[in-house]
Amino acid sequence: MSRSPPLNQVVLVVEDEFLIRTDAADMVRAAGFTVVEASNADLALELLESASDIAAVFTDIHMPGSMDGLRLVAIVRDRWPPIAILVTSGQDQIGVDDLPAGGRFLPKPYTEAQLATQLRELTSLH
């Protein structure tokens, strides 16, 4: 049996495709987390700068804007080291060496159970 996340842990879901973002956000909520959404990395950084309660970032790699998801998570690790990092893509296979320390990769398509497990494990480490 998997543990529930601590109450009110916030996950920032970053995905440019509206329907995929909405579906991912619903999965994260079903796992017991509070969700904040951003449609690109630039908006995600704005949210991170204004919020102090984000426990994890779940981001796609390929997005429009000034940076992709890998650049975003590098900035997150540098500026907000305690934030857990989970990266996804349906186009790329990412190795542990491609991610910041402690980051994980979850390939698309993923299931609600896979996403919940990854987020619970990542947030319980902090």
Domain count, the chain: 1
Look up the CATH number of the domain holding residue 95.
Answer: 3.40.50.2300
Q: What is the pLDDT of residue 7?
A: 59
Say if 3 falls within a structural domain: no
Say if 51 falls within a structural domain: yes
Q: What is the pLDDT of residue 6?
A: 55
Q: What is the 3-state secondary structure (H, E, C) of the chain?
A: CCCCCCCCCEEEEECCCHHHHHHHHHHHHHCCCEEEEECCHHHHHHHHHHCCCEEEEEEECCCCCCCCHHHHHHHHHHHCCCCEEEEEECCCCCCHHHCCCCCEEEECCCCHHHHHHHHHHHHHCC
d(CA 121, CA 100): 17
Say if 28 falls within a structural domain: yes
Say if 69 falls within a structural domain: yes
Say if 1 falls within a structural domain: no
Say if 5 falls within a structural domain: no
d(CA 49, CA 44): 9
pLDDT tens digit at each of 126 positions of the chain: 445 555 579 999 999 999 999 999 999 999 999 999 999 999 999 999 999 899 999 999 999 999 999 999 999 999 999 999 999 999 877 888 889 999 999 999 999 999 999 999 999 965
Say if 4 falls within a structural domain: no
Asked if 10 and 28 count as a contact pair (C-beta separation under 8 A), the reply is no
Q: Which domain holds residue 21?
A: 10-124
Say if 85 falls within a structural domain: yes
